[in-house]
Structure 1
Amino acid sequence: MPAEFTDAEYPAAPYPGARPDFSYLHDDGRGHRLTPAREARSGWRVHGGEPAVDLDGWLVERGHPPLAERVPLLSYGSNPCPAKLTWLRARHGLSGPVVVLRARCAGLSAVWAAGLRVVDDQRPAVLAAAPGAVEQHAVIMASAGQVLAFDRCEGRGDRYRLASVSTGSVTTEDGGTWGAVLAYLGARDTRRPLLVHGAPVACADVPRSAAAHLVGAPADGDGLDAAEVSGPPDPRALPGELFVYGTLQPGASHWRLLAPHAAGPARPAALAGSLHDTGRGYPALVLGDGPGVRGWSVPLRSGAALAGLDSYEGPEYDRVRVVLADGSVAWTYVWLPTVDGMPLLREPWPATTSPE
């Protein structure tokens, strides 16, 4: 597969446009392939140079937000098309590198909407629950400014609403399955799914050229378990779990800082990487190869809880999203300085009591 490509290789017409069959970074009319790399802080590496580099490092070096400051936006129409992204830059002010992660969606489907678009009398797509369906779409890791551009394009608050969707499963190319993702869902009656002979019509089954001629009735709803987002989405809200392995574990010295923010019981979890003894009463986590790290995944009431924990962890740690051994996506804190000279821990960091 190519390390780099141009928009010309992935045109926007016919709808929904062509797109790479891999994850990529789009910037200034060019794309750079992304590959999963669990040893990288971001979990991804950017290709196109030698050697491939950590995605977060690439972004921050150029003055752009890292993945932790971006939200996962499920994109099921034309937005993952490179040429469409360039159009969005010119038409709606989309700016900065766009991170597009290829995703397998189960129980979800892009279907044709009940009404036609005013601008061209074409039928738009809308997301709906679809038990048993499996489709390939994309998760765009969008910065705050990019969300505003997508809001303008989708007509947020008029044609579409932005919501956190927890129906089905969305698994990105790194094997991480999100408990919930953001998506633009139909807001008007004309953006409800179209029912033909009582069933929605998947966009993959009928081309857009024929979709405008479909005859049916609007569905009562989209069948999705979704909570509408008011105002700018908070990147800290997704994922809704925190993997802890040291002093924040249940029963450990500083569990009291996390306990009030837990939305339910912690569950045993593991992460690829290694744990080192800093000699200061707390451990250092390094991602990637190693004996593996055991700890606990704690569901959070709100992403706002992370502000206080960020302060507690301090500048020696960086909060990043990781894929746990069971495939779920969670936040955790990784060690920033070197671990040279620190003993490797082959057992979990001790807690004083067992979690209830």
Structure 2
Amino acid sequence: MAQPFTDESHPAEPYPGTRPDHCFVHVDETGWPVRPDLTMESGWRVEPENIDLDQWLANHGEPPLAARMPVLGYGSNANPSKVTWLREELGLEGPAVVLRARCEGLSAVWAAGMRARDGQRPATLAAEPGHVEEHSVWFATPEQLRVLDRCEGRGLRYRLVRLHTGRVVLYNGGVIDSVLAYTAGSKKRMPVLFNGRMVRCEDVSQRRALTLGERAAVTDGLDVTEVLGEPSADDWPELLFVYGTLQPGASAWHLMEPHVVASEETHLPGTLFDTGLGYPALRPGAGLGVPGFVLRLKSPEQSLPLLDEYEGEDYRRVRVVLPDGRIAWTYIWTAAVKGMSELPDGWDVHQIR
């Protein structure tokens, strides 16, 4: 079982520093390893205590994953010592949740200009079809995202965008479509060209990168949508998994239907229970699990608060991974299930009409 580590094991210099080969949550110059775990409400477990990540965050007085936004970190932001620098220099508060991810069709490459702060060459992001690298995804609170904006020089050096190029896959198999990322917002942060080609950070050290010159590429090849204003955690994903009264044709479908663009049948790992109150209770777990529908919402940030009110205090909204890797919202039961009967075939048609 992995043990907590300190910043000393992952120095920040030279840029971009070293990074753990696993997911972690970081606070007070210490990182705790994080692993995927379907039995946890958040889908993640903090080691060595084996506690749900959301509960670990709550114990520190901080919001859960559902209240955080995924931001791709491909440079120094996955370095634990850099996280401490963000706290000391820019006022970052609260635990940083940093989950490792497989990035397909993307590459961290050296930028054309140097950092004014220390003269080192920073990374920038570029499209590279067929190429695979491992990076990290911050799950940032709105306050933490504002700190990252300042660090990256949003609007000056880098732009905050939703990334449509490539594929970002977390260690739990979840695919983050349209992940937030900081990409080149100026000529100096465009990829540097050496002998007419971009240069991967994984292939060339910082020391050698200093000799690459300053010829900037015309494009980074990325398909992006620039984010205007402050994004919301409710913006992503656009999918919602329903398994009871909110299913098409069910008793509460009339509340759901105006907010839905499309629907399709699927299932979710876990166990469904009959509350005896006219609606079911979903608990996370392994196996083929619970049949239901995945709905694509017109405007998640508008419809989700209404659904939160409808579901009430016994349910909690979380992000879950569907069998095909897509990530969706769903509502899990948080009260006791003792004495409830299981529903192995799901919430039957005769129960929802």
TM-score (norm 2): 0.94
> Hey, what's the Cα distance between the residues in 2 that align with 1:243 and 1:194?
43
Q: 1:290 to 1:96 in 2, by over 3 A?
A: same
> Hey, what's the Cα distance between the residues in 1 that align with 2:349 and 2:153?
50
Q: CA deviation at 1:97?
A: 0.7
Q: CA deviation at 1:248?
A: 1.3
> Hey, what's the Cα distance between the residues in 2 that align with 1:54 and 1:267?
30
Please point out which of 240, 243, 246 is paired with 2:244. Answer: 246
What is the one-letter code of the residue matched to 2:46?
V
> Hey, what's the Cα distance between the residues in 1 that align with 2:60 and 2:15?
32
Matching residue of 1:262: 260
Unaligned runs of 5+ in 1: none
Match status 1:152 vs 2:155: no
> Hey, what's the Cα distance between the residues in 2 that align with 1:165 and 1:70?
17
- SS of 2:305's equivalent in the other structure is helix
What is the one-letter code of the residue matched to 2:32?
H
What is the one-letter code of the residue matched to 1:31?
G
Q: Assess if the C-alpha contact under 8 Å between 1:179 and 1:240 holds in 2.
A: no
What is the one-letter code of the residue matched to 1:28?
D
Count of equivalent residues = 350
Match status 1:235 vs 2:233: yes
Matching residue of 2:312: 314
Deviation digits for residues 20-51 of structure 1 (CA, Å, limit 9, x no counterpart)? 111111010111111111111111111133xx
> Hey, what's the Cα distance between the residues in 1 that align with 2:308 and 2:337?
20
- SS of 2:256's equivalent in the other structure is helix
What is the one-letter code of the residue matched to 2:237?
P
What is the one-letter code of the residue matched to 2:281?
A
> Hey, what's the Cα distance between the residues in 2 that align with 1:299 and 1:200?
38
> Hey, what's the Cα distance between the residues in 1 that align with 2:147 and 2:194?
33
RMSD over equivalenced CA pairs, Å: 1.7
Q: Which moved more, 1:72-81 or 1:285-294?
A: 285-294
Aligned runs of 1:5-154 on 2, under 5 Å? Answer: 5-49=5-49, 52-154=50-152
> Hey, what's the Cα distance between the residues in 1 that align with 2:214 and 2:31?
40
> Hey, what's the Cα distance between the residues in 2 that align with 1:193 and 1:303?
35
> Hey, what's the Cα distance between the residues in 1 that align with 2:308 and 2:166?
31
What is the one-letter code of the residue matched to 2:314?
E
> Hey, what's the Cα distance between the residues in 2 that align with 1:118 and 1:77?
16
Q: Assess if the C-alpha contact under 8 Å between 1:234 and 1:303 holds in 2.
A: no
> Hey, what's the Cα distance between the residues in 2 that align with 1:94 and 1:226?
27
Matching residue of 1:277: 274
Q: CA deviation at 1:331?
A: 0.8
Q: Assess if the C-alpha contact under 8 Å between 1:10 and 1:81 holds in 2.
A: yes
Deviation digits for residues 281-316 of structure 1 (CA, Å, limit 9, x no counterpart)? 211101014660111111222221211111111111
Q: 1:197 to 1:291 in 2, by over 3 A?
A: closer
Unaligned runs of 5+ in 2: none
Q: CA deviation at 1:115?
A: 2.1
Q: CA deviation at 1:192?
A: 1.5
Q: Assess if the C-alpha contact under 8 Å between 1:126 and 1:193 holds in 2.
A: yes
- SS of 1:338's equivalent in the other structure is coil
> Hey, what's the Cα distance between the residues in 2 that align with 1:70 and 1:308?
19
Q: Assess if the C-alpha contact under 8 Å between 2:16 and 2:122 holds in 1.
A: no
> Hey, what's the Cα distance between the residues in 1 that align with 2:247 and 2:17?
47
Q: Assess if the C-alpha contact under 8 Å between 1:291 and 1:346 holds in 2.
A: no
TM-score (norm 1): 0.94
Q: Assess if the C-alpha contact under 8 Å between 1:74 and 1:139 holds in 2.
A: yes
What is the one-letter code of the residue matched to 2:300?
G
> Hey, what's the Cα distance between the residues in 2 that align with 1:155 and 1:216?
20
